[in-house]
Amino acid sequence: LAPHGMVGVGAIFEAYQRGELMDDAEVALLHADAEHGFRALSVPLVNVRHVARLAQEAGVLSAAESRALVDAAAALFYQDRTWPRVLQAVGEAWPASTQGRWRTWAAGGLADLKREDARACLQAAAAFVASGARPPSREGVSRPPPSSYVRRRRLVEGLCETEAGLVSSEDVLEELRAGPGAQELARAGLRRALLAGWARSLGLSPTPEEVARAESEQWARLGVAPPERAAWLAACGLDAHEFRRLCEERALEGLMLEHAARLLPDGPSWDEALASEARLEGRWAEMAARLTAPRRRPRKR
């Protein structure tokens, strides 16, 4: 997440950044609930790696014995990984002399790298807040569309800020589902998202000018003046970036419709689309009747 603006803190973050760690399983652990202070009930693999390295540097373990410790820990399910079980799993990989050195060395306590990094993160956050500095601007930085998981979480957990107070996105969505026009809104949203997704799959992307034009046209359609836009976005549960992303989808939708005849073999033209939709909606027949109706002659005065 660092390329997207996250500020990483600690040795574990740095190991992931260097590519030394790759799997989320490295930091997984079982912990108690809030009533018991969320205390750790198992040992994350990243802690075992850290302790094994410290023990090797202290001359307690050889390189092979250090690897055996990590391998034994990695073979255990993360919820079952405790120090007694890890040491039991090492078994005969350690001779009696190594086990004796380990007991003496470990009697002073074993390092908890994940806890150390968590404390460092809190200290870094507190120092940043105390400094009064502002986070770096992400304006103009391209970000990929959020995943379906993130989008659905926002629908449930998001908040909208109105003049009367906060309301959950989930409550707004529930009312919209039951309200008039829900089907039309959903179909329009699906059509825009599907066409934009198809465009991206073809490697298409709108220019900054096309996105800016789509954004400007949308504001004009809404009739929201610049001073009122921040409040409007907050009431919609959006920020400027998310609004721009939706306008980018609209720009992509426009591109796909504009070039529809070339996107498919023997694709539809603009006039075909106009005619077919007018026929389905009955407007073609209305127009035909209007054109064949006898015209009234103006009365003579």
- 135 within a domain of the structure (yes/no): no
- 132 within a domain of the structure (yes/no): no
Q: Examine the domain organization and report whether 189 and 105 are in the same domain.
A: no
- 203 within a domain of the structure (yes/no): yes
Contact 176, 190 (CB under 8 A): no
Q: Examine the domain organization and report whether 254 and 273 are in the same domain.
A: no
Domain carrying residue 239: 148-258
Q: Examine the domain organization and report whether 176 and 254 are in the same domain.
A: yes
- 172 within a domain of the structure (yes/no): yes
Q: Examine the domain organization and report whether 164 and 240 are in the same domain.
A: yes
Residue type, 61: L
Rounded to whole angstroms, how far apart are CA atoms 280 and 156? 36
The kind and range of the H/E element at 160 are strand 159-162
Q: Which two tokens stand for residue 177?
A: 């589902």
**Last residue of one domain, picked from the residues 67, 97, 115:** 115
Q: Examine the domain organization and report whether 207 and 275 are in the same domain.
A: no
SS3 call for 159: strand
Three-class secondary structure assignment of 211-230: HHHHHHHHHHHHCCCHHHHH
Q: Examine the domain organization and report whether 225 and 193 are in the same domain.
A: yes
- 48 within a domain of the structure (yes/no): yes
- Total structural domains within the chain: 3
Q: Examine the domain organization and report whether 83 and 185 are in the same domain.
A: no
Q: Examine the domain organization and report whether 20 and 46 are in the same domain.
A: yes
Rounded to whole angstroms, how far apart are CA atoms 164 and 38? 37
Residue type, 163: E
Q: Which two tokens stand for residue 105?
A: 């060395």
Q: Examine the domain organization and report whether 12 and 109 are in the same domain.
A: yes
- 98 within a domain of the structure (yes/no): yes
Q: Examine the domain organization and report whether 252 and 284 are in the same domain.
A: no
The kind and range of the H/E element at 168 are strand 165-168
Q: Examine the domain organization and report whether 194 and 107 are in the same domain.
A: no
Q: Examine the domain organization and report whether 155 and 246 are in the same domain.
A: yes
pLDDT in tens, the chain (301 residues): 777 678 899 999 999 999 999 898 999 999 998 889 889 999 999 999 999 999 999 999 999 999 999 999 999 999 999 999 999 999 889 999 999 999 999 998 999 999 999 999 999 999 999 998 877 666 555 566 778 888 888 888 888 999 999 999 999 999 999 999 999 999 999 999 999 999 999 988 899 999 999 999 999 999 999 999 999 999 999 989 899 999 999 999 999 999 888 888 888 888 998 999 999 999 999 999 999 988 776 666 6
Q: Which two tokens stand for residue 198?
A: 């198809």
- 211 within a domain of the structure (yes/no): yes
Q: Which two tokens stand for residue 99?
A: 């086990």
Q: What is the pTM of this model?
A: 0.55
- 233 within a domain of the structure (yes/no): yes
Rounded to whole angstroms, how far apart are CA atoms 31 and 118? 15
